[in-house]
């Protein structure tokens, strides 16, 4: 029977799980996110070893097919999918090994163990083409967009049922706060195009060293939408989570 991690808990506030087990097993997939800079990306690793509830051994994370360089003491937010919840905790890099294959030892400090509803906490990396058009602030119907406005083509780089991150080679109007996001998705072997009203919550410019150019990232929160659109969106996100967490 696989070993399980049972870190000591010290937080009894709502949202914590005092005395709960992580219930991790060999081959479980975890998501790592930089604690210091959460926007740097998310990486997936597999559990290959467990030690007395204080140490976790995982495969070395990769980014774009290349090994991610880690340093001792670096901290990550670690998430695992358990049923319809995401369990989150912090972990620290203890040691990085390259032989006989790349793997990482993570220290699991005692403390807060978070339980989040998956629909609000878990984002999956995707590569979708979408169209953005301004949406009047007080309108919630994505079909009621402002007339005679330019449509901007963007990429959706990650998505959840509550929001997404957009990447654009051109800057959107800095005064723009509400948009209509039109995106084509493939779900359950069917292709659907949905329009989602959304609010731009964050914007930043990023330098791409490889291309010697800048691009723009926008954090977007979805607003109220029709039930049929919400159903398609939920189906797509949960399907992508399943593919991401459990595919080889």
What pLDDT score does 140 carry? Answer: 47
Does one domain contain both 111 and 168? Answer: no
| Domain's final residue, options 118, 140, 166 | 118
Structural domain contains residue 190:
yes
Q: Do 133 and 214 belong to one domain?
A: yes
Could you list the residue range(s) of the whole structural domain that residue 144 is in? 124-246
**pLDDT per residue of the chain (248 residues) written in tens, 0 to 9:** 333 333 333 333 333 332 335 677 888 888 888 888 766 777 889 999 987 667 889 999 988 788 888 999 999 988 886 655 667 788 899 999 999 999 999 988 665 556 555 555 577 889 999 999 987 654 445 555 554 467 899 999 999 888 999 999 999 988 889 999 999 999 888 899 999 999 999 999 998 888 889 999 999 999 999 999 999 998 998 888 777 765 54
- pLDDT value at residue 21: 56
Q: State residue 248's pLDDT score.
A: 47
Domain count, the chain: 2
Q: Tell whether 87 and 142 lie within a shared domain.
A: no
Q: CA nearest 51: which of 119, 114, 93, 108?
A: 108
Query: pTM value?
Result: 0.59
The predicted structure's pLDDT at residue 7: 32
């Amino acid at each position: 029977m696989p070993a399980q991690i049972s870190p000591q808990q010290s937080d009894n506030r709502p949202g914590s799980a005092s005395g709960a087990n992580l219930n991790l097993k060999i081959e479980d997939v975890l998501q790592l996110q930089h604690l210091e800079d959460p926007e740097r990306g998310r990486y997936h690793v597999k559990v290959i070893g467990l030690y007395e509830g204080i140490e976790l051994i995982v495969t070395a994370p990769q980014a774009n097919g290349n090994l991610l360089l880690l340093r001792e003491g670096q901290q990550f937010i670690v998430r695992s999918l358990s049923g319809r919840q995401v369990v989150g905790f912090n972990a620290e890099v203890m040691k990085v090994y390259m032989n006989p294959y790349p793997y990482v030892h993570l220290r699991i400090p005692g403390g807060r163990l978070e339980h989040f509803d998956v629909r609000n906490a878990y984002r999956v990396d995707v590569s979708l083409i979408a169209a953005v058009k301004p949406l009047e602030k007080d309108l919630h119907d994505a079909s009621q967009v402002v007339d005679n406005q330019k449509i901007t083509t963007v990429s959706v780089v990650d998505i959840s049922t509550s929001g997404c991150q957009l990447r654009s080679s051109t800057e959107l109007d800095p005064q723009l706060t509400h948009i209509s996001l039109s995106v084509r998705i493939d779900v359950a072997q069917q292709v659907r195009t949905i329009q989602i009203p959304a609010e731009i919550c964050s914007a930043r410019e990023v330098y791409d060293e490889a291309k010697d150019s800048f691009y723009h990232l926008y954090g977007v929160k979805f607003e109220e939408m029709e039930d049929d659109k919400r159903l398609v969106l939920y189906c797509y996100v949960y399907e992508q989570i399943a593919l991401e967490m459990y595919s080889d």
